[in-house]
């Protein structure tokens, strides 16, 4: 296991991975909840329509996660890992 030492604090790759996983779970939970909420208003949908909604919502989440994920990965290679990790956890209210 590799760790990054920043001003006496260490951030392991597993901490970064756990935060990335928590961030993805947070967004996925919102996605599922919103899709479920909207489905009630859309009535009966064909399987193609269901797939289109699912694909669209997944694509939106992936696009929204690109910047925070890249920031966390880049921070792990530099001396900002501790600070970026703490900021992401605080901004997205992650318990990791």
User: Which helix (H) or strand (E) segment is 4 a member of?
Assistant: strand 3-6
Query: For residue 57, is pLDDT > 90?
Result: yes
pLDDT per residue over 27-43, tens digit each? 999 999 999 998 889 88
- The backbone torsions φ and ψ at residue 8, rounded to the nearest 5 degrees and listed phi first, read 85, -5
| pTM for the full predicted model | 0.75
pLDDT per residue over 9-33, tens digit each? 567 788 888 988 999 999 999 999 9
Dist. CA 55–CA 16, nearest whole Å: 27
Residue 9, pLDDT score: 56
């Amino acid at each position: 296991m590799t760790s990054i030492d920043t001003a006496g604090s260490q951030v392991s790759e597993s901490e970064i991975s756990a935060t990335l996983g928590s961030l993805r779970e947070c967004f996925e939970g919102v996605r599922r909840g919103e899709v479920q909420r909207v489905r009630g208003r859309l009535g009966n949908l064909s399987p193609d329509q269901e797939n289109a909604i699912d694909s669209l919502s997944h694509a939106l989440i992936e696009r929204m996660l690109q910047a925070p994920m890249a920031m966390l990965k880049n921070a792990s290679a530099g001396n900002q890992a501790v600070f970026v990790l703490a900021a992401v956890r605080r901004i997205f209210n992650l318990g990791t």
